[in-house]
Amino acid sequence: MPSTYLDSAVFRDIFTTPAMRAVWSDENRVQKYLDFEAALARAQAKLKIIPQEACDEILKHCDAKEYDMTKLKEATERIGYPVLPVVQQLVKLCKDGLGEWSHWGATTQDITDTATVLQIKESLALIEKEIEAICDALAALAKKYRDTPMAGRSNLQQAVPITFGYKMATMLAAFERHRQRLNELKPRVLVGEFGGAAGTLSSLGKDGLRCQDELMKELKLGQPEISWHTVRDRIAEVGCFLGLITGSCGKIAFDVKLLMQTEVEEVQEPFHQGRGSSSTMPQKRNPISSVYITAQTAMVKQLVAALLEAMIEDHERATGPWEIEWIALPEIFMLTAGALAQTRFLVEGLHVNEQRMRDNIFITKGLIMSEAVMMGLGDKLGRNYAHDLVYDICRDVVKTGRPLIDLLEENPEIRKHADRKTLEKMVDPANYLGVAGEMVDRVLKMRGK
């Protein structure tokens, strides 16, 4: 009976995705063990380490559908590791004792680690597709709202005007960096393991490296320069990468939650009938995807810490830290897939309220433009003096509720240097967007959109 939110019949497709769950399933893991055994047999037959007849027979029985999962469970509990029970069934399935040539010169960890790398390879392909889709959606938002003014915020206070396109382009740039990181880490992470008992391939003598090379060619993985049984930076790196990705998803979710507040209402998550409903307050439209992304991101961060802990392993074969990866890595990938899927859904269907963005810029009676006024007067009054003068006028705006431009116009010192028309230009948000548009264009150019 399913007992976690990742395999729950109710919650599993909220917190992860069917495709990623399939990658880390028992069936796929066992198939990856058998893929290793098949590749090893082909490589060793080619090098005449094992008979071709044995290779042919082994290859006939490297389909996980032939294997009894109940017996695998029982034997794994008895032995303590999952590979030997698979090999035992493989040997029995092969005729005339030819299965005895399987697993030649290999050790349990060679197969387990390489199977994990094969699962990582499949998983990263899924991750890459989601990143691409999110980049496309963010690029579309950045382009469409390139010149749409909104309030930039600092410490949750209105700061200076930005554009919504600029806000989206900052996140697009982050996901473009994630694409770059993914391409950079693949050669380091997608590397197989085949070292034998203590990593030296002593069981194969002079044929060890030749066999390792052929094996990795068969599996389409990189050949390690040296065995890495207890040097786990490859696994930790991919975990940290997923932590970075989900961190960016969490940033988007946090901003969307804040922008969805009743008092703000500048964006809304995609909507369909009943989505975000409250059981008692009919008016509510809760941020559903953002809430799940927040939870997924938090859990990935904690599990990445566990992978870093697993790096500290003893000697050439470890006593426990390795098994941390068995627990943490599948969950990291599954939660990341869920966070990416929720983020994609969110940004592809985001509702943007341009009118509300314009309205919110003016709720402070023009105070959001105080820096623009200060800078506009600075060359005439001196920057520091202009700052203090505008500061005092801003306090009067807060006290009286009158528009900033009226109090600026009434100030005798300011009136000497700026008439009403000049002040109107200073307090127009569209005139104080800096190079936001050009920055958006630069990010879109990176994307080729």
State the DSSP string of 61-92.
T--GGGS-HHHHHHHHHHHS-SHHHHHHHHHH
Tokens encoding 95:
């005729």
**Average pLDDT for consecutive 10-residue bins of the chain (449 residues)?**
84 92 96 98 97 97 96 95 95 96 95 98 98 98 97 94 97 97 97 95 94 98 97 97 98 97 94 64 79 97 96 91 95 97 97 96 92 89 90 93 92 89 92 95 85
CATH topology of domain 12-137+150-358: Fumarase C; Chain A, domain 2 (1.20.200)
Say how many Å lie between the first and final Cα of the chain, rounded: 47
> What counts of helices (H) and strands (E) characterise the chain?
19, 4
Say which residues have a Cβ less than 8 Å from residue 15's Cβ, sequence separation at least 6: 5, 6, 292, 295, 296, 334, 335, 338
Instruction: Say what the pLDDT of residue 60 is.
Output: 97
Instruction: Say what the pLDDT of residue 380 is.
Output: 84
Q: How many CA atoms lie within 13 A of 376 on its CB side?
A: 21
Going from N- to C-terminal start, the domains of the chain cover 12-137+150-358, 359-447
Instruction: Say what the pLDDT of residue 3 is.
Output: 80
Rg (CA), the chain: 30
Q: Which of 188, 202, 278, 395 is catalytic?
A: 278
Residue 295 CA to residue 249 CA, distance in Å, equals 11
Kindly list the distances between the CA atom of residue 396 and the CA atoms of 36, 362, 411, 424, in Å, as whole numbers in the listed order.
75, 16, 12, 19
Is 133 within 8 Å of 343 (Cβ atoms)? no
Q: Which residue has the tokens 């032995």?
A: 79
Instruction: Say what the pLDDT of residue 416 is.
Output: 86
Is 313 within 8 Å of 230 (Cβ atoms)? yes
Assign domain 359-447 to its CATH superfamily.
Answer: Fumarase/aspartase (C-terminal domain) (1.10.40.30)
Kindly list the distances between the CA atom of residue 373 and the CA atoms of 381, 407, 424, in Å, as whole numbers in the listed order.
11, 12, 10
Q: Which of 153, 210, 285, 317 is catalytic?
A: 317
Is 380 within 8 Å of 170 (Cβ atoms)? no
User: Which of 412, 417, 414 shows the shortest CA–CA distance to 390?
Assistant: 414
| 317 counts as catalytic | yes
Instruction: Say what the pLDDT of residue 283 is.
Output: 64
Instruction: Say what the pLDDT of residue 8 is.
Output: 85
The answer to whether 12-137+150-358 and 359-447 have equal CATH topology is: no
